[in-house]
Amino acid sequence: MLGVRLGGVIVAAVLLGAAGAAPPKPGYWAERPTPAELLASWPAALRHDPTAQAAMRCKARADGALEACSILLARPAGAGLGESLLAMAPRFRVNMRAAHAPAAGDDVEAFNEPPIKYDKTPDWLRKPTSSELMSVWPKGAERGGKGVVNCLVSLQGALFGCTALREEPKGSHFAAAALALTPQLLMTPGVIDGKPAVSPVNIPINFVVPGGGMLPLGMWGGADMTSATMAWPQAPSYADVVAAYPAKAREAKRGGRATLSCELDRHGGVGRCTTLAEEPKHEGFADAAKALAKQFRAFTTSPDGRTVSGVRLQLPVVFDPAMLEGGQPVIGKAQWAGLPSPEETDAAFGKLAVAGTTRVRLACTVQQGGSVSDCKVVAEDPAGQGVGQAALGLAAHFRLTTWTAEGLPTVGGTINIPLRYEAGKAEPKG
């Protein structure tokens, strides 16, 4: 059987080494900006945000300097954190004589994040099993490898917002395999000032063949996989999740979650679901998730024209007791699936007699398929110049994911869409 080893998961309060990463080896950096210098480059509003992070990937030169740097991770998107870290790249220099130092031309990662003090860091509730590792083992990878991903841990313990950081060996697709595992993993969130908080974490996952050999012929090459975080043409809404809430848990106002392994049929339907994880057990959460799975419908062909029949996905579903209290819907953080084009943006804003930067914030309701409706102008600057009305004209061009990585719906919820228009360019920041 396949063995599994997972490295330690630590949310670091240092500014180098991504949240969740162990600090650099002593002497790894010969030079680097001070924590105060890195933090000073951030917007003041983000300096106490535990989810804020930036990371860049560079090539090491023979003298330890960094070159060919690119943004690896920037959270929140559009805040300029990645660009501020890139501007610091000349201040970093690797000690090429240190233990485990890279060779010239190797990849090097550098990170920046606020120095948040955690009372308690995230910890495991559920790690992947050997069979789960086998289900995502990259096609053609006869030997083992390693994938490292960076995620946020939700208040309910699910992983979301995950980004692949690196893999060994390069080009092996083990980072993508590690990403495919994240929907079924569970962790406790970090604790700040005595309260659970959404927490960033690095997760190294080792895909290990016992004895260090090769997988037997026929055991490697997993099924084609897709992500549950897409703009489904049809997906359960907030109201659908509330209606499916298990009766026993509803009465006790108890939350839970389940992760399913499912398969798409030739019509785009979701079926043949099995339970990968259920917390807590015997409360009906897995059965409720399977009932909701029948309400998903995908496009019948993938973007490259292949049929989706037989493609598998891991479907997380979260049941939050706050859903039962009415009021503001409990939805996940949607991601962009479609945005207005530069031409459409210029058509909306270009005729306005407004100089400088224009900012607008809309509040819209997410509809089936990821479109938005019932949009209202929450804020506009400058006011009274028609910029809010111009932004409303773009609403038809926004499209969002309708299910999130943490297992929450977006359909039926309200999303804020901040826009900035300057010199013919609009940038949604939500």
| 359 assigned to some structural domain | yes
CA distance 128 to 131: 8
What's the maximum distance between 2 C-alpha atoms anywhere in the chain?
A: 71
Residue 312 lies in a domain: yes
What's the alpha-carbon Rg for the chain, to the nearest Å?
Answer: 23
Tokens 């929907």 -> residue: 183
Residue 239 contacts residue 330 (beta carbons within 8 Å):
no
Q: Quick one: 93 and 123 in the same domain?
A: no
Residue 58 counted as domain residue: yes
The pLDDT score that the predictor gives to residue 222 is: 53
Residue 16 lies in a domain: no
Task: Among 302, 325, 348, identify where a domain stops.
Answer: 325
On whether residue 330 sits in a domain, the answer given is no
Q: Does residue 134 share a domain with residue 91?
A: no
61 and 93 belong to one structural domain: yes
Out of 171, 195, 223, a domain closes at 223
Do 289 and 380 share a structural domain?
Answer: no
CA distance 121 to 196: 10
Range of the domain at 306: 238-325
How confident is the chain (430 residues) per 10-residue block, as mean pLDDT? Answer: 30 29 63 90 87 92 93 81 90 91 91 89 88 78 86 88 84 82 87 94 86 54 70 92 94 88 92 86 93 96 84 86 78 80 86 80 92 94 88 93 86 87 55
| Pair of tokens at residue 279 | 């917390």
Residue 19 lies in a domain: no
Determine the length of the chain. 430
What is the per-residue pLDDT for 212?
61
Last residue of a domain, one of 325, 358, 375: 325
Take residue 213 and report the two structure tokens written for it: 């050999």
- Based on the domain organization, do 244 and 285 belong to the same domain? yes
Are 108 and 126 part of one and the same domain?
A: no
Check which CATH number belongs to the domain holding 36 and give it.
3.30.2420
Domain shared by 89 and 139, yes or no? no
Residue 410 lies in a domain: yes
Phi, psi of 377 (to 5 degrees): -80, 115
Find the helix or strand (DSSP H, E) in which 135 lies.
Answer: helix 130-136
* 189, 155 Cβ separation under 8 angstroms: yes
What pTM does this model have?
0.58
* pLDDT, position 25: 46
Q: How much is the pLDDT for 148? A: 92
Residue 3 token pair: 């063995």
Pick from 73, 204, 206, 230: nearest CA to 143: 206
Residue 244 forms part of a structural domain: yes
Domain count, the chain: 4
